[in-house]
Amino acid sequence: MANNSNDTQVSFPKRVVITGGMPYGNKHLHFGHVGGMFVEADFFARFYRDRIGEENVIFVSGTDCYGSPIMEGYRGRKEAGYTGSIEDYVEENHRSQAQTLKDYGISLDLFSGSGLEPAKPFHAKLSREVIERLYQRGYLMKCSTKQFYDTKAHQFLNGRQVVGRCPVKGCKSEKAYADECDLGHQFDPEELITPVSQLTGTTPELRPVENWYFNLPAFADDLKKLVDKWDSDPQIRPLVTKTVRESLEPPRIYIQEHYQETFDAIKDKLPPFKYFAPEGNQKSFSIVFNSWQERDDARTILEDADVRFRTGKTLLPFRLTGNISWGVPAPDLEDLKGLTLWCWPESLWAPISFTQTLLATAATGRYSSTDWHDWWCSKDTKVFQFMGQDNINFYCVTQPALWEALDWGLIQDTPIADYHILFMNKKASSSGKIKPPMAEDLLNHYTAEQLRTHWLSLALDQKAVSFSPKPYDTSVSHTDKKTGEQILTKDDPRVADPVLKESAFLTNIFNRLARSCFYGATRALDNHLPSVDPEPEVVKRCNKVTEDFEKACYHFNSTKALTIAEDFCREANKRWTKESKTAKEDPKGYEQALSNAFRALRTVTLLMHPVVPKGCEAIAEHLNIPTEVFFSWRHAEEGLPELVQYTGENAEQHEITPLPPRFDFFERHESQR
């Protein structure tokens, strides 16, 4: 194994926690949740279970249960006659999400919810502890902002409870909410055009509110050190470090050149700043302040002087509390009472709550430690956090600072961020114009293993990639010459489905190797394993490929890992075809060819296990070798006769289960037959 060799870069931790974000509790899962995140996280969870032992791996996630979109979603359902409670509404969505994840073979140790049993009490307790701890350590600050208030309903309005038009010039969004539009522009509530309360249809007024904020700017130096460290960490993708660096810029304001004169007239009133003239094609100059507070003061002065400007990214205080009724209660501190936690921050520590929940409810001996600190606060552990690129600021800036502030010894996560998975070459979102297909619906056209293999081959770590399933492709393929009728791609039998490219490998290459071995052993060896050893060069090649695969996994390159396994399998098939043909009339030679092929099959099946677990486990079962022996990397470099011996059986007497004719371990979907 590589960690015994000179390659010091590849060494695996004793324990691993894997998290895959939290799907929001107002909807079922669309394909992006599964294809853009969960399948990849699952691949690595399965790889690590095989590699370091399943008692040392925890893979947790859960439904994000709180916040205004859920309240609004529930209100909409209720108006349409729904009679359940808001908990029922979230629970129903959660159940659908859990079923979908199960149908895709996502092997979560726990999929609970921040507001659902059994995690709810753990999460409420931890949330309280986090806020109290931050307060004690002096990292909470009280900030006052304006919030919409419905004078008819006598309550403050949050997020989606207010709808208006986006103030950003030229924005084409259909809806804007209290502080953001559905295209993602963010603004202050004061700026929202024609706000309307969704509760009463009245125009809400703005009232000042006080909330607790986390002093994120206090951690600028820690974050700089962390991102420098990440630069030289081969497990961290450049997408992460680049995005984090952007948020660590000093507080800057951009002003268009034609305001120069107005600016010059008032610049003496501003807090101290550095001036940067426009460079190259830039049409704006910029000014940089020592702190975000001074920049805020400058904003007010510029606004009063009617100078238009734009602010650059920088670290700002991070809001922790709000007054939304559907939220985790925040502890009462000073004069701020009865607040709830804003749902973004509590989702940062939810994976810890889920770990606590899992360890408290698991069967005795299932995990190597039942103390959550051993999983989150130990040098022996790693936390791998999978995320889409939109969440990098949140998980890679706010979270590391929060962990520092808590001083509980929490280790910094290893973030694994992916680019967007597009749909038909466009960015799709359930609130946008292009609706992504629901993950569950795709299973009407493909098997889960086909989709898993396809998504893992997309290399989302490199760039945004399109998912373009043929049954959903309504573009015009061509015009029929005879009838003049337009034929859509989805109905054109001449167009191959790009999603099935990798399935061809499963059925035509991998399955062929497996079948050759099984049918060969049935025909020539009466269902026994070959009694001759595989040739040394075959064994050497198997071990080299295993090592390469392991290295690719260490670097979180699932696409490369898959390619390594595929190429090797093709190579093994070629070898078998050649050797079995040559040895047609030579039983000894034929048995040698079979021995070589079985050794290759053993390796491919081990490597492909995290990709297509069902098919690989079926192969191990037909070989009559227990899966816990077959897939443990302790035996990664051992062949089938050695594996058989771990079961206490004699390899010469061991029998395999013969396959029926034309058997496929990776059966196609019924719609493809």
Tokens matching residue 352? 């810890």
Which amino acid, residue 347? S
Residue whose CB is less far from Zn ion, 174 or 441 = 174
- What is the distance between the alpha carbons of residues 32 and 22, in angstroms, rounded to a whole number? 13
Residue 19 DSSP SS3: strand
Cβ neighbours of 300 (radius 10 Å): 9
The least distance separating Zn ion from the CB of residue 169, rounded to whole angstroms, comes to 9
C-beta of residue 116 within 8 angstroms of C-beta of residue 65: yes
Residue whose CB is less far from Zn ion, 185 or 515 = 185
The least distance separating Zn ion from the CB of residue 148, rounded to whole angstroms, comes to 18
Diameter of the chain measured on Cα atoms: 98
Instruction: Map tokens 């902002």 to a residue.
Output: 145
- What is the distance between the alpha carbons of residues 213 and 352, in angstroms, rounded to a whole number? 21
- What is the distance between the alpha carbons of residues 632 and 636, in angstroms, rounded to a whole number? 7
Q: What angle do CA 238, 111, 391 make, to 5 degrees?
A: 25
The least distance separating Zn ion from the CB of residue 170, rounded to whole angstroms, comes to 9
Cis amide prior to 118 (ω within 30 degrees): yes
Which residues would be at the binding site for Zn ion (CB under 5 A)? 166, 168, 171, 173, 181, 183, 185
The least distance separating Zn ion from the CB of residue 239, rounded to whole angstroms, comes to 25
The least distance separating Zn ion from the CB of residue 176, rounded to whole angstroms, comes to 6
Residue whose CB is less far from Zn ion, 173 or 284 = 173
Residue whose CB is less far from Zn ion, 153 or 196 = 196
Residue whose CB is less far from Zn ion, 171 or 509 = 171
- What is the distance between the alpha carbons of residues 392 and 582, in angstroms, rounded to a whole number? 56
Report the relative pairing of strands 465-467 and 476-479 from DSSP bridges. Answer: unpaired
Which amino acid, residue 526? D
Residue whose CB is less far from Zn ion, 186 or 479 = 186
- What is the distance between the alpha carbons of residues 588 and 619, in angstroms, rounded to a whole number? 25
- What is the distance between the alpha carbons of residues 295 and 278, in angstroms, rounded to a whole number? 19
Residue whose CB is less far from Zn ion, 174 or 491 = 174
The least distance separating Zn ion from the CB of residue 191, rounded to whole angstroms, comes to 11
Residue whose CB is less far from Zn ion, 169 or 379 = 169
The least distance separating Zn ion from the CB of residue 167, rounded to whole angstroms, comes to 8
Contacts of residue 196, defined as CB under 8 A and 6 or more positions apart, other chains included, come to 162, 163, 164, 202, 203, 204
The least distance separating Zn ion from the CB of residue 478, rounded to whole angstroms, comes to 38
Residue whose CB is less far from Zn ion, 171 or 532 = 171
Helices (H), 137-212: none
- What is the distance between the alpha carbons of residues 277 and 261, in angstroms, rounded to a whole number? 14
Residue whose CB is less far from Zn ion, 168 or 424 = 168
The least distance separating Zn ion from the CB of residue 187, rounded to whole angstroms, comes to 8
The least distance separating Zn ion from the CB of residue 166, rounded to whole angstroms, comes to 3
- What is the distance between the alpha carbons of residues 90 and 388, in angstroms, rounded to a whole number? 23
Residue whose CB is less far from Zn ion, 131 or 181 = 181
C-beta of residue 572 within 8 angstroms of C-beta of residue 584: no
The least distance separating Zn ion from the CB of residue 301, rounded to whole angstroms, comes to 26
Whether the CA torsion 441, 446, 450, 456 is positive or negative: it is negative
Whether the CA torsion 350, 356, 357, 358 is positive or negative: it is positive
Tokens matching residue 519? 């049918």
